[in-house]
Amino acid sequence: MKNIQLIASDIDGTLLLNDSQAIDSEIFNLIHQLEQKNILFMAASGREYTNLRDLFSPVADDIAYLCLNGCITFYKGECISKEVMDAELARKLITTIQNDSNTEVLVSGEKTCYITPKNQSYYEHLTNTVKNHVTIVDDLLNIPEPYTKISAYFKDGVNEHYQYYADMFDKVITVQIGGKCWLDCTPKDVNKSTG
């Protein structure tokens, strides 16, 4: 039997249950035990890097991070891989989401997420509940870094909206449901298993 060198785990719905936003301290003990056996733990999530570092703060420098559904990988504080979306395609997607008056857009960057909130409660949800590092910008079509993951937030739930976006974009990007209210879009064929 070969030696195990890495164990990756999904976060939401696996280590975080029932909409919890805090990792159980027993997980940190397990990560330390893995480290003593030279096994690297990787947090795999649709979340941003800074959000994951905060969640895993007691072991933040001891683990690897597969972020944004496989778009970005961090190890020892450095981005070691990054998949980006075609800028023109990303702008078309953002504009499509923005044109729906009941939908919010979140554009993920390496260490922050960018929003132009239509409603203050969306900003408060991201900062106080999800605990993202948020940068408010005037224009999501002009952020200061390449587009990785673009998400649509449907406060009333994502299920009835998924097919519309899948029909429009699924041939050129990966469109997937990310929880009750989120639709996550990443470069084509990028996901947690390819990251």
d(CA 109, CA 25): 28
**pLDDT of 194:** 66
Is the model's pLDDT at 1 over the cut of 60? no
Pick from 46, 36, 40: nearest CA to 14: 46
Pick from 182, 179, 178: nearest CA to 191: 178
Count of Cβ atoms closer than 10 Å to residue 14 Cβ = 10
What whole-number percentage of the chain has pLDDT above 70? 95
CATH 3.40.50.1000 maps onto the chain at 6-82
The CATH fold of domain 6-82:
Rossmann fold (3.40.50)
pLDDT average, residue stretch 52-77: 94
pLDDT average, residue stretch 136-158: 95
- Using left for φ > 0, alpha for ψ between -120 and 50, and beta otherwise, residue 56 falls in alpha
- Using left for φ > 0, alpha for ψ between -120 and 50, and beta otherwise, residue 77 falls in left
Say which CATH class 87-187 falls into: alpha beta
Residues 6+ apart with CB under 8 A from 16: 22, 23, 55
Per-residue confidence band for 94, with pLDDT thresholds at 50, 70 and 90: very high
CATH 3.30.1240.10 maps onto the chain at 87-187
**pLDDT of 87:** 96
For 84-88, 93-97, 116-120, 186-190, which range has the lowest pLDDT when averaged over its residues? 186-190
End-to-end CA distance of the chain: 25
Q: What is the pLDDT of residues 13-54, one digit of tens each?
A: 777 766 767 788 899 999 999 999 999 999 999 889 999 999
Q: By the 8 A CB rule, do 106 and 114 touch?
A: yes
**pLDDT of 143:** 96
**pLDDT of 129:** 87
Q: By the 8 A CB rule, do 88 and 104 touch?
A: no
Question: Between these two residues, 15 and 130, which has the higher pLDDT value?
Answer: 130
pLDDT average, residue stretch 69-81: 94
pTM exceeds 0.85, yes or no = yes
